[in-house]
Amino acid sequence: MNESQRSRRQFLKAVGASSLIAGVAGAGASLGAEGNEKLAIDGGRPVRKTLLGYQAYGPQFYNEVERREILEVLDSKKPFRWWKSGSKVLEFEEAYAAHIGVKYAIGVTSGTTALSAALAALEIGPGDEVILPAWTWYADYDTIVLAGALPVFAEVDSSLNIDPADIESRITPRTKAIIAVSLQGCPADMDPILEIARRHKLRVLEDFSQCVGGRYRGKYLGSMADIGISSFQESKTITAGEGGAVVTNDPILFERAVRAHDVGVIRSPYHENLGGGQIPAFAASNYRMNEFTGAILKAQEQDIETICAALRKNARKVREGIADLPGLKMRKTPDLDGDLGVTIFLDHPTQENRDRFLRAMRAEGISASPPGGSVILPIDGRIENKVTVHPDWPSFNTPQGKAIRYGRDCCPQTIDVQERLGGVIMDPNFTEEDLNDIVKAIRKVYLAMYVA
């Protein structure tokens, strides 16, 4: 028995006989010949000669607008956002807030510092617990710890986002907030998350770093919770290499985030916006955005819809091209129209199948990968061992902090889902030919492995 046949056996067992018979019987006539093609991984002819892969999205859209904006800063010899009237950072903030549909946006140096400012705005500190998904970027965990609070992981489901059904059992009297992260282009399931938060009087922080431009039931990510953050690092929808933003509709949270990003002070025009401010200053860091970053982001902001529309169109085309595959299971999404379509991920029966599928796809000339851009945090060594810069760090010095156990046992569902999913990461500039090749390769490998 070769590798393909072995995978097929496992698959048949996993999907169960009934769905299989229904699927294959219906599809048999049209799919029969197609499924007999010899895979490139078994010595057959590949779909493509050169490997097709995606590139960072934002920089592909750099053009005269970015050039003009950044040269204006250079020529002005005023790279600091303050000490002058008007600023590129301010213009970016206003455009970004209007785009997402929130009252306020603050440009900062990164997504990580945006998280720190947002947690400060929510007054998260020692003794507080914050719930976050077990599969996300380090920054969500680290900024909770740096605030002195205790990170509590919840499982992700087959959307790769936090599983609303696993949140409630993680809530304790010390829980103060939930971080709802929208990962790899897929919006978090905001309605149930917001409903749980309301019922338990918790705050919600939206981290839509990996889904800038994404929507959920008609609303932009970042506009639904108490406060939101995004990153503009190179792997995100739009980018200046680094950068981040805090967004909110709440003037008090806005004021606190402003103070948190600028050593406790509020300067003009924030000062006028806030009527001079309502809360006293507090100890804080400097996360201010500079004018070069502001210039690039002001220009990139105008590309958000172009990039997202292209991604969505491309993803739809591939999804339609493979929709008839019998037994096909895709990564779940709570809103197909709001989803950015970053991933065409299949939900495979086992990790062995997934890995074999990815290898076979690459042999066909289509770059394919497991979920990326995040980490199963509870099994990361320094997290499992609660390593901090000082042994008395407040996060792990409370009775709860001492008692909490990370590691595999706190997130079996996350590990399982993360091992099963995988496929193609999309690019907004894929051509019709590229998309046809992706469809061809997925069909070829899927049929050979699972159906033929």
Per-residue x/- mask for ligand PLP, residues 14 to 53, rule CB under 6 A? ----------------------------------------
CB of 373 to ligand PLP, least distance (A): 6
Q: Is 300 in the site for ligand PLP (CB under 6 A)?
A: no
CB of 35 to ligand PLP, least distance (A): 38
CB of 377 to ligand PLP, least distance (A): 11
Rounded Cα gap, residues 291 and 109, in angstroms: 11
CB of 110 to ligand PLP, least distance (A): 3
CB of 378 to ligand PLP, least distance (A): 16
**Which of 4, 87, 110, 116: binder of ligand PLP (CB under 6 A)?**
110
Q: In the complex with ligand PLP, which residue's Cβ is closer, 110 or 175?
A: 110
Q: In the complex with ligand PLP, which residue's Cβ is closer, 155 or 364?
A: 155
CB of 34 to ligand PLP, least distance (A): 38
Per-residue x/- mask for ligand PLP, residues 56 to 75, rule CB under 6 A? --------------------
| Interface stretch with ligand PLP, choices 84-92, 137-145, 353-361, 376-384 (CB under 6 A) | 137-145
Q: In the complex with ligand PLP, which residue's Cβ is closer, 117 or 452?
A: 117
CB of 182 to ligand PLP, least distance (A): 8
Q: What 3 state SS string does the chain have?
A: CCHHHHHHHHHHHHHCHHHHHHHHHHHHHHHCCHHHCCCHHHCCCCCCCCCECCCCCHHHHCCHHHHHHHHHHHHHCCCCCCCCCCCHHHHHHHHHHHHHCCCEEEEECCHHHHHHHHHHHCCCCCCCEEEEECEECHHHHHHHHHCCCEEEEECECCCCCECHHHCHHHCCCCEEEEEEECCCCCCCCHHHHHHHHHHHCCEEEEECCCCCCCEECCEECCCCCCEEEEECECCCCCCCECCEEEEECCHHHHHHHHHHHECCCCCCCHHHHCCCCCCCCCCCCECECCHHHHHHHHHHHCCHHHHHHHHHHHHHHHHHHHCCCCCCCECCCCCCCCCCCCEEEEECCCHHHHHHHHHHHHHCCECCECCCCCEEHHHCHHHHCCCCCCCCCHHHCCHHHHHCCCCHHHCHHHHHHHHHEEEEECCCCCCHHHHHHHHHHHHHHHHHHHHC
By CB under 6 A, the residues from 197 to 256 that bind ligand PLP are: 207, 209-210, 231, 233, 242, 244
Asked if 108 and 244 count as a contact pair (C-beta separation under 8 A), the reply is: yes
Q: In the complex with ligand PLP, which residue's Cβ is closer, 205 or 325?
A: 205
Token couple for 89: 């950072």
Count interface residues toward ligand PLP (CB under 6 A): 16
User: Residue 275's closest CA among 246, 258, 255?
Assistant: 255
CB of 423 to ligand PLP, least distance (A): 19
CB of 109 to ligand PLP, least distance (A): 8
By CB under 6 A, the residues from 370 to 389 that bind ligand PLP are: 373
Q: Is 111 in the site for ligand PLP (CB under 6 A)?
A: yes
Q: In the complex with ligand PLP, which residue's Cβ is closer, 87 or 110?
A: 110
By CB under 6 A, the residues from 152 to 191 that bind ligand PLP are: 181
Q: In the complex with ligand PLP, which residue's Cβ is closer, 209 or 398?
A: 209
Pairing of strands 129-133, 150-154: parallel
Between CA 177 and CA 100, with CA 250 as vertex, the angle to 5 degrees is: 90
| Interface stretch with ligand PLP, choices 108-116, 279-287, 291-299, 394-402 (CB under 6 A) | 108-116
Q: Is 92 in the site for ligand PLP (CB under 6 A)?
A: no
Rounded Cα gap, residues 148 and 380, in angstroms: 19
**Which of 112, 237, 395, 414: binder of ligand PLP (CB under 6 A)?**
112
Q: Could you give the C-alpha distances from 110 to 211, 245, 309, 373, 418, in angstroms and in order?
A: 15, 7, 25, 16, 26
Q: In the complex with ligand PLP, which residue's Cβ is closer, 181 or 330?
A: 181
Q: In the complex with ligand PLP, which residue's Cβ is closer, 244 or 327?
A: 244
Q: Is 136 in the site for ligand PLP (CB under 6 A)?
A: yes
| Interface stretch with ligand PLP, choices 56-64, 68-76, 135-143, 357-365 (CB under 6 A) | 135-143
CB of 286 to ligand PLP, least distance (A): 15
Token pair 């399982």 is at which residue? 416
Q: In the complex with ligand PLP, which residue's Cβ is closer, 257 or 435?
A: 257
Q: Which residue ranges make up the site for ligand PLP (CB under 6 A)?
A: 110-112, 136-137, 139-140, 181, 207, 209-210, 231, 233, 242, 244, 373
